[in-house]
C-alpha cells in the first residue's frame, strides 16, 4: 500500500509504503491471533524550513544561505525517516480455555507479545530507540459471574527505552554548570569560554519493570 500525505501549511510531504497481514484461528479451546506490519518506506519527500538554529542545521545535515536573509539557512529534511515509524511491528496473542469438570467454571491460560524494530525519536533521525519486545502472561478461573487470575507483565523484564521526547523541560546542564562557575561546555567547543553554550537534550521514558499480581472481578 502506498500513501502520500501532505500538509500544505507546513510544506511537508511524507511517503508511506507499508504491507500488513493478520490471522486468527480457534480450535478445541485454543485461540491464536497475530499481526505483522512491514514499513520499508516512511520518509519525508518534502520538508523545508528556514532557521538560524544550529541544532536544526545539524539535524537536517544541510544549509543553503537564505536569499532574503543571509543570517538564516534554508534547510531540508527530505529523505529523513518519519519519527516513531518502525520497519517491523509484530503482535501475537494466544489463549487456551478448558472447563473444570463440567462445573460451569473455565480454567484459562493466555498471553500476548509485541515486537517493534528500531524507531527514530525525531525528524532529524539522530536519536534511535532500539528494538524491543514484551511478553505478558495470565492464568486463572472464570465463570458467568466472576473471574480470578494471576498475571505477569513484561515477563522477560525488558528494560529497553521505548519512547520519550525531544527537549522541552529537560535540565539545561550547560547553563547549570555556568551558574555554578564551571567552564561553558559550548564555549569550549567554540574555543571561547565566554561563549553561550549549545544545549540539546532528549528525554527517554523508563519502561515498567516486570510486574506480577492477582486480579479478581464480579459480574452482575
Q: Which helix (H) or strand (E) holds 189?
A: helix 185-190
What pTM was estimated for this model as a whole? 0.73
Residue 199 lies in a domain: no
Residue 83 lies in a domain: yes
Q: Which helix (H) or strand (E) holds 213?
A: strand 211-218
The answer to whether 94 and 111 are in contact (CB under 8 A) is: yes
Residue 18 lies in a domain: yes
Residue 183 lies in a domain: no
Domain range for residue 120?
A: 2-163+205-218
Residue 157 lies in a domain: yes
Residue 55 lies in a domain: yes
Q: What is the pLDDT of residues 47-58, one digit of tens each?
A: 999 998 888 888
Residue 132 lies in a domain: yes
The number of folded domains in the chain is 1
Q: What is the pLDDT of residues 165-199, one digit of tens each?
A: 766 444 455 444 444 444 444 444 444 444 444 45
Residue 25 lies in a domain: yes
Amino acid at each position: 500500500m502506498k500513501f502520500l500525505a501532505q500538509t500544505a501549511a507546513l510544506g511537508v510531504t511524507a511517503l508511506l509504503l507499508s504491507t500488513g497481514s493478520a490471522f486468527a484461528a480457534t480450535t478445541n479451546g485454543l485461540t491464536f491471533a497475530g499481526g505483522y506490519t512491514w514499513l520499508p518506506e516512511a520518509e519525508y519527500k518534502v520538508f523545508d524550513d528556514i532557521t538560524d538554529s544550529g541544532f536544526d542545521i545539524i539535524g537536517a545535515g544541510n544549509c543553503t544561505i537564505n536569499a532574503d536573509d543571509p543570517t538564516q539557512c534554508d534547510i531540508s529534511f527530505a529523505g529523513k525517516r518519519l519519527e516513531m515509524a518502525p520497519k517491523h511491528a509484530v503482535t501475537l496473542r494466544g489463549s487456551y480455555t478448558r472447563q473444570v469438570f463440567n462445573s460451569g467454571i473455565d480454567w484459562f491460560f493466555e498471553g500476548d507479545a509485541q515486537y517493534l524494530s528500531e524507531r527514530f525519536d525525531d525528524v532529524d533521525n539522530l536519536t534511535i530507540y532500539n528494538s524491543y519486545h514484551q511478553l505478558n502472561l495470565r492464568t486463572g478461573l472464570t465463570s458467568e459471574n466472576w473471574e480470578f487470575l494471576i498475571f505477569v507483565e513484561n515477563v522477560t523484564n525488558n528494560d529497553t527505552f521505548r519512547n520519550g521526547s525531544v527537549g522541552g523541560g529537560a535540565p539545561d546542564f550547560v547553563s547549570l554548570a555556568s551558574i555554578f562557575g564551571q567552564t561553558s561546555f559550548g564555549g569550549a567547543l567554540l574555543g571561547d569560554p565566554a561563549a553561550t553554550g549549545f544545549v540539546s537534550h532528549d528525554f527517554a521514558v523508563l519502561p515498567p519493570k516486570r510486574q506480577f499480581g492477582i486480579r479478581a472481578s464480579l459480574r452482575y
